Amino acid sequence: MTTFVSHFKRIFLKFTEFNFDSGLLEGIEAANYIKTTPIQEMVIPHILNGKDVMAFAQTGTGKTAAFLLPLINNVLTKKAGTGIKCMIIVPTRELAVQISQHLEGLSYFTPISSIAVYGGGDGNDFIQEKNALIKNAEFVVCTPGKMMAHIKMGYVNLEGLQYLVLDEADRMLDMGFYNDIMFIIGKLPQKRQTLLFSATMAPKIKTLAHKILRQPIEVSLSLSKPPEKIVQQAFMVYDEQKTPLIIHLLKEKQYRSVLIFCSSKLSVKNLTRDLKRKGIVAAEIHSDLEQAEREDILVGFKSGRIPVLVATDILSRGIDIDNIDLVINFDVPRDSEDYVHRIGRTARAAADGTAFTLVTLKEQRKFHFIEKLIGKDISKMSVPEHLGKQPAYSPAQKNDSAKPSSKRNFKPKGKRHQ
């Protein structure tokens, strides 16, 4: 296994140097791509050479084009047989749609056919997916559960599949899709090229890679620190202070676009309800909504019609929203890396951005790990006097409230849908 790290010397390759198909080059030009990003420069040559690749890179690094471009080129230049040639498995509907749109744009001047397969649609969507699969669309971008459902019905021809991509593999495992993924892989030809992309290097990812990759090239693009232009602040709070504090922050200053992350659907629903009761125009997004509802809400948020959006981590990666000037972490994220992904939604197209994190006593140690990860002490802010006294920040100290209750009901870990 060969490892490439993020501090390699950049060559600044142009896309014209890869000897891509002429139709693909037209799509690249139309997308205004000129020079490669580091992840593209590191992995494209290996994919073109038929190597399995395990790449660690966060969202916003250009990783989607890093695998789409060489795979489109390979399918165009190495025509062989009929059937689905490439399957790209992703954790969420939104990411499936985004990658599918990206694929359509890059392959616009080529005869490549593709279909996005994901849950949440109606009967017509299912029929459209079925027809495309039967007619052997060359590229399939899919979520695990929906793809597994189609395969079980017996009409999906996977005998000619040559390329498999697992994108955001760490997120898929976090959401409980391991069995679905392994079911799908069990139906694929063993002789194929497999690419695995993940934002984190968790041991479970290495274990999965060992099972499905063959002598992979390992590429590691280290986790980027949050941009300096993001103002990061934290509030030490008690649980009952969280919602009143957010209402105060939103009414104290006028923000154009605010994204609030919660770690559960229940918190999303409760917070959105409380904000609306206080006259704040807000909407919620999570997996309980139908796909059409989610798309309409995202359109409203991007256009400014919905100034405040409360969401699960479904929006922390892979969603292109460039006009957000405030991100609020209602809960400290489960994984330190997710903090970087969350606050990275702001300060993208705008000149700057702000990120607030609400930290309860039991979340202080997790928050301390975030500070260690980003190599920076985040400013600790005082809560308004009318909210009462706030807890001190002492992450090394054991708080009684952080201890699990003996009455807590533990349930077997199952699939978590966001």
For residue 313, give the CATH number of its domain: 3.40.50.300
Same domain, 97 and 195: yes
pLDDT value of position 417: 43
Same domain, 297 and 393: yes
pLDDT value of position 347: 64
How many Cα neighbours within 13 Å face the side chain of 94? 25
Same domain, 9 and 136: yes
Q: How many CB atoms lie within 10 A of CB 189?
A: 11
Same domain, 197 and 272: no
Contact 44, 66 (CB under 8 A): yes
Domain extent for 376: 230-402
DSSP H or E segment with residue 3: strand 3-4
Determine, yes or no, domain membership for 98.
yes
Determine, yes or no, domain membership for 413.
no
Contact 390, 237 (CB under 8 A): yes
pLDDT value of position 48: 96
Determine, yes or no, domain membership for 196.
yes
pLDDT value of position 348: 59
Same domain, 236 and 214: no
Q: How many domains does the chain have?
A: 2
pLDDT value of position 316: 62
DSSP H or E segment with residue 196: strand 193-198
Determine, yes or no, domain membership for 418.
no
Contact 161, 192 (CB under 8 A): yes
Determine, yes or no, domain membership for 312.
yes
Contact 261, 311 (CB under 8 A): yes
DSSP H or E segment with residue 131: helix 123-134
Q: Give bridge partners of residue 53 from the DSSP assignment.
A: 195, 217
pLDDT value of position 200: 77
Report helix, strand or coil for 113.
Answer: coil
pLDDT value of position 392: 94
Determine, yes or no, domain membership for 415.
no
Same domain, 187 and 292: no
Q: Round to whole Å and give the CA distance between 59 and 242.
A: 29
Q: Round to whole Å and give the CA distance between 191 and 247.
A: 56
pLDDT tens over the chain, length 418 residues: 444 444 445 556 788 889 999 999 999 999 888 888 888 999 999 999 999 999 987 666 788 999 999 999 999 998 766 789 999 999 988 889 989 999 999 999 999 999 999 987 777 888 999 999 998 899 999 999 999 999 999 999 999 999 999 999 988 998 889 999 999 999 999 999 999 998 877 788 889 999 999 999 999 876 667 777 889 999 999 999 999 999 999 999 989 899 999 988 899 999 999 999 999 999 998 878 877 788 889 889 988 899 999 998 766 665 566 678 899 999 998 877 778 878 877 765 545 789 999 999 999 999 998 998 888 899 999 999 999 999 999 987 654 443 333 333 323 334 444 4
Chain length of the chain? 418
pLDDT value of position 402: 38
Same domain, 45 and 190: yes
pLDDT value of position 271: 97
Of 408, 395, 278, which Cα lies nearest the Cα of 332?
395
pLDDT value of position 414: 43
pTM of the model: 0.66
Determine, yes or no, domain membership for 7.
yes
Q: How many CB atoms lie within 10 A of CB 395?
A: 15
Same domain, 169 and 259: no
Same domain, 48 and 180: yes
Of 5, 118, 141, 130, which Cα lies nearest the Cα of 71?
141
Q: How many CB atoms lie within 10 A of CB 247?
A: 17
Q: Round to whole Å and give the CA distance between 284 and 343.
A: 18
Determine, yes or no, domain membership for 225.
no
Same domain, 61 and 202: yes
Q: Round to whole Å and give the CA distance between 232 and 356.
A: 6
Q: Round to whole Å and give the CA distance between 350 and 80.
A: 46
pLDDT value of position 34: 80
Same domain, 256 and 195: no
- Please report, for residues 43, 59, 380, the alpha-carbon distance to residue 3 in angstroms, rounded to integers and kept in the order given: 11, 20, 39
Same domain, 178 and 157: yes
Q: Round to whole Å and give the CA distance between 95 and 320.
A: 10
Q: Round to whole Å and give the CA distance between 212 and 205.
A: 11
